[in-house]
Amino acid sequence: MSRHLGAIRQLGYVVPDIEAAMDYWSRTLGVGPWYYNPQVPIKNYRYKGESYQPHNSVALANAGYIQVELIQTRNDVPSMYRDFQQTSKSGLQHVAYWTEDYDRDLNNLVGLGWKPIMQGEVGERGRFIYFDTEYHPGTVIELSEVAGPKGKLFKLIREASEGWDGKDPVRPFPDLSTL
């Protein structure tokens, strides 16, 4: 448990083939069901101060309390995911902490000397930010706002995993504007 942000809530894996990764996690590890979005609608995306339009596919499922995120980049937009792939190929790229008070927690982390490097928004009140790992090589830290529809989606995903029977292992992402 982090004394700054509480429990780690998500493990983010960058993978070369998201369909194969979902199949492995659901069949071999029994994790699911997966909620899959072939093109995440990211707004206000910035990496190292520059604006870009990424095309990332994402799948989310829970393994108990912790959410597993699978990410496949679909274009060559600069990102921490692309940097990770260029050095490590695939695997655990980030751990995420969730917050309902994004501004407070972001200000606290910046006050501790953490340096934002990549950020954007997924849905209303669904901001996210990744911090530079120059001071700690390896897994990146993400702060993810879950005060809006994204938080409702994450709850739906966790509840779907409870007692999951292995059927219907890949499901479409619901439209965030309906949550």
Residue-level pLDDT, tens digit, the chain, 179 residues: 578 789 999 999 999 999 999 999 999 999 999 999 999 999 999 999 999 999 999 999 999 999 999 999 999 999 999 999 998 778 999 999 999 999 999 999 999 999 999 999 999 999 999 998 776 667 899 999 999 999 999 999 999 999 999 999 999 999 988 98
pTM for the whole structure: 0.95
Q: Which of 169, 163, 17 is nearest to 90 (CA)?
A: 17
Q: What is the pLDDT of residue 4?
A: 79
Beta-ladder partners of 82: none
Beta-bridged to residue 144, according to DSSP, are 98, 128
Sign of CA dihedral 98, 20, 27, 168: positive
Strands (E) in 48-161, as ranges, are 50-51, 56-63, 66-73, 91-99, 116-121, 127-131, 140-145
